[in-house]
Amino acid sequence: MVRLNELTTEELFTPGHRLCAGCGAGVIARMTMKALRRPTVVVNATGCLEVASTIYPYTAWKVSWVHIAFENAAAVASGIEAAYKAMRRRKAWDREVDIIAFGGDGGTFDIGIQAISGALERGHDFLYICYDNEAYMNTGIQRSGATPHGAATTTSPAGTKIPGKPEFKKDFIGICAAHGIENAATASPAYWNDYITKVRKGLEVDGPAVIHVFSPCPLGMRHDSAISIELARLAVQTRYWPVYEVERGEYKLNIKVPRPKPVVEFLKLQGRFRHLFQPQFKHEIDIIQRWVDENWKRITKLCGEA
């Protein structure tokens, strides 16, 4: 774990941005900046974090920052990394620079996954962070490949027949790990030291690294803005969000949950699952619980945990 005296005391992601109260992305960005070790360039895909932190002529970022489109955060991060390498070869630049790309789940799981896959396959040296609020929250709360089964969104509405999104969430870290990269991990902002440690570790890797972090969204998940960190903790404590890492193909469970809370404790705090508590859809909660149990079993088996 990273020590407190190893973290910067300067606020490199400043207050005064326009993110919603209780937004997980703002907490995640601030924590990320605490782990920096040297000059850093942040590449930010279009989304909540980008839109709300850089309202012209203001910015919440005190590092070099680039706004790019939904789909090409990893491609632009790759180009910046290659440019610094070229400048060092020509002796036009003599300092090491870290590069961090931020993308939401829409710009990561769906629109941006081709660029991510290409960057990982080519081995570019940067850290990709997906802040996952489990829908396209910035553009109207549409479902994404990260939206869980049963969640109501504007494109997977809960009605009298359909109980929200019918599909299940992608295994993004499994996809990234399959590229043979050195480090990929999941995280939750409720476990700040685990997250900041993973950011530092991802920056220290010689090559690409990926972090997939749960990002509570009061607007889209429809929960009280005061309980965002409680919800992020419940996601882990119910085993809905396993916290683990993959280093050189080896899985390791970072947070063990020997006595999990039922997933209904996580679901009932969010309006996007409210319809599941109606009599005709209550069986869907059992389906979600079964998915959680099976996914936990799969992950712990990969981690070598009984």
Give yes or no for residue 56 having a pLDDT over 80: yes
Mean pLDDT of the chain: 96
Neighbour-count burial for 145-175, b at 16+ CB within 10 Å, e otherwise: bbbbbbbbbeebebeeeebbbeeebbebbeb
- For the cut 90, the answer to whether the pLDDT of residue 58 exceeds it is yes
Over 90: is that where the pLDDT of 3 sits? no
Q: What is the pLDDT of residue 87?
A: 97
Residues 6+ apart with CB under 8 A from 158: 152, 164, 275, 281
Give the span between the Cα atoms of 272 and 102, in whole angstroms.
25
Q: How many CB atoms lie within 10 A of CB 15?
A: 8
Task: Kindly state the tokens that stand for 163.
Answer: 């109980």
Per-residue pLDDT of 243-272, as tens digits, reads 999 999 999 999 999 999 999 999 999 999
| Paired residues of 102 in beta bridges | 44, 129
- Hey, what CATH topology would domain 4-302 get? Rossmann fold (3.40.50)
What's the pLDDT score for residue 1?
79
Q: Which of 196, 40, 250 is nearest to 125 (CA)?
A: 40
216 half-sphere exposure, CB direction, 13 A CA radius: 28
pLDDT at residue 5 tops 80: no
CA-CA distance, 229 to 246, in Å (whole number)? 25
**pLDDT tens per residue across span 225-234:** 999 999 999 9
The CA distance from 123 to 109, in Å, is: 19
pLDDT at 6 exceeding the cut of 90? no
Q: Is 94 exposed, middle or buried (0-12, 13-18, 19+ CB in 10 A)?
A: exposed
Residue 2 predicted with pLDDT over 90: no
Q: What is the DSSP string of 133-162?
A: -SSBGGGT-B--TTPPTT---SSS-B-SS-
Q: Which residues contact residue 41 at a Cβ distance below 8 angstroms, ignoring those fewer than 6 apart?
A: 63, 64, 65, 66, 80, 97, 98, 99, 100
Share of the chain above pLDDT 90, in %: 96
Strand order in the sheet with 209-214: 64-68, 40-45, 98-104, 127-132, 209-214, 183-187, 244-247, 250-253
From 185, 270, 276, 187, select the one nearest 228 (Cα to Cα): 270
pLDDT digits (tens, 9 = 90+) for 7-40: 888 999 999 999 999 999 999 999 999 999 999 9
User: According to the model, what pLDDT value does residue 263 have?
Assistant: 98
Q: Where are the beta strands (DSSP E) in 46-153?
A: 64-68, 98-104, 127-132
